[in-house]
Amino acid sequence: MSTRDRQALLPGATLGVMGGGQLGRMFVHAAQALGYSTAVLDADPHSPAGLVSHHHVQKAYLDAEGLQQLAAVAQAITTEFENVPAEALRTLAQSRPVAPSGDAVAICQDRAAEKAHITASGVPCAPFALIDSEASLARVSDTLLPGILKTARMGYDGKGQVRIQSRAELAEAWAGLGRVPCVLEQRLALHRELSVIVARGVDGQWVHFPVQQNLHREGILAVTEVPAPDVDPALAAQAVAHAGAIAQSMHYVGVLCVEFFVVKAADGRLSLVANEMAPRPHNSGHYTIDACDVSQFELQVRAMAQLPLVAPRLHSPTVMLNLLGDLWWRDGVERTPAWDAVLALPGAHLHLYGKTSARPGRKMGHLTLTGADAASVRAVALQAASLLGLPAW
């Protein structure tokens, strides 16, 4: 079904989501707040989104019966996870509007296709080479070393990535990754990490949130600050324009996050390169629930339901802390973090995702701090980090 042939779905309809994790849970909350019923397809009977949805189809993503059940109950469907099979989305699109499309998600699932699309959109990315054979391995230019070898598919949050210094390490790393298709990226002089979240409608209209400044630890997002404290307005505007160009050239419908590196040249000049994109709401945008008048999840609902996309407004400076399962463990003993002390802080907004077990590296929730000015919010965020045993930044 062409998205251009559909009419707006008003509250009272049922919206479906592929995937039952925390992003699906926050989508479900946003849809329900607007008056929609919701349906989740996820095989896990205890999935965070499935536990709070009106309907939970407990089937695998490619299960034909499960896809039929979701299409029977939902009038439009989205995804909460970039690794939901694109083929499943294409199957659903035969009978229901799906946003983003399976073709758009497929681009984001393959690093080589993703980089080709980013480049075709006129946006720079890190120099790279595709490695999918011994011959392509031998052809790799020395200019790409040192670099980062990344699996072309199924890598996220630092998974499937190996830092390499030499050709010998490259060959060893590729073998260690199972000789699957990989992308080798030149390692750049990273100065900052940014992200931009845009929402684009069927009619091509798009809106965006402010540029987000991010800090990662071990490949996983740790801290997001908005407004971005160390980003020149001209560079921020360029990042927004790049993200919009990528979405427009893909004819994207839905919420899209583009991550950027700020690279510092030898002469001190700063420039942007696109790192990767996510065809869904993003961890770095969770603060929008508490610090904006329209969240990234509400815009996800609006885009798929073909409702007006209003430009979101940041009403409070904010810092978001990612809460991983490590916080629940100290000296090998499981414990409950000091939420009472954290919630005594001004402007503290705690979001836990309803996951049944805490494991190191597992995203269990996030904490958003808001306030009247950026300096006071940062000070309170550092207090929260200290109470939780998180490092300062």
Judge whether 193 is annotated as a binding position: yes
Judge whether 275 is annotated as a binding position: yes
Judge whether 172 is annotated as a binding position: no
Judge whether 161 is annotated as a binding position: yes
Judge whether 225 is annotated as a binding position: no
How much helix, strand and coil, in percent to the nearest 5, is found in the chain?
35, 30, 40
Averaged confidence pLDDT in the chain = 95
pLDDT-derived band at 332 (thresholds 50, 70, 90) equals confident
Amino acid letter for position 360? P
Amino acid letter for position 354? G
Crossing angle of helices 102-109 and 111-120, rounded to 10°: 110
Residues 6+ apart with CB under 8 A from 244: 198, 206, 208
Which of 168-172, 239-243, 296-300 has the weakest average pLDDT? 168-172
Judge whether 157 is annotated as a binding position: yes
Q: Where are the domains of the chain?
A: 3-98, 127-186, 188-315, 317-393
Across-strand partners of 38?
15
Judge whether 187 is annotated as a binding position: yes
Q: Where are the alpha helices (DSSP H) in 198-309?
A: 233-249, 288-291, 296-305
pLDDT of 1 over the 80 cut: no
Question: In the predicted model, what is the mean pLDDT of residues 70-91?
Answer: 96
Judge whether 361 is annotated as a binding position: no
How confident is the model at residue 324, as a pLDDT?
A: 97
Superfamily of domain 127-186: ATP-grasp fold, A domain (3.30.1490.20)
Condensed to tens digits (0 to 9), the pLDDT of residues 65-74 reads 999 999 999 9
Tell me which fold the domain 188-315 belongs to.
D-amino Acid Aminotransferase; Chain A, domain 1 (3.30.470)
Judge whether 213 is annotated as a binding position: no
pLDDT of 145 over the 90 cut: yes
Condensed to tens digits (0 to 9), the pLDDT of residues 278-312 reads 999 999 999 999 999 999 999 999 999 999 999 99
Judge whether 276 is annotated as a binding position: yes
Q: What is the CATH number of domain 3-98?
A: 3.40.50.20
pLDDT of 138 over the 70 cut: yes
Q: Is the dihedral of CA 134, 140, 144, 145 positive or negative?
A: positive
Q: What is the pTM of this model?
A: 0.94
Judge whether 90 is annotated as a binding position: no
Tell me which fold the domain 317-393 belongs to.
D-amino Acid Aminotransferase; Chain A, domain 1 (3.30.470)
Question: In the predicted model, what is the mean pLDDT of residues 78-97?
Answer: 96
Judge whether 160 is annotated as a binding position: yes
Judge whether 190 is annotated as a binding position: no
- Contact yes or no for 263/270 (Cβ under 8 A): yes
Condensed to tens digits (0 to 9), the pLDDT of residues 112-123 reads 999 999 999 999
Judge whether 110 is annotated as a binding position: no
Judge whether 216 is annotated as a binding position: yes
Do 127-186 and 3-98 fall under one CATH topology? no
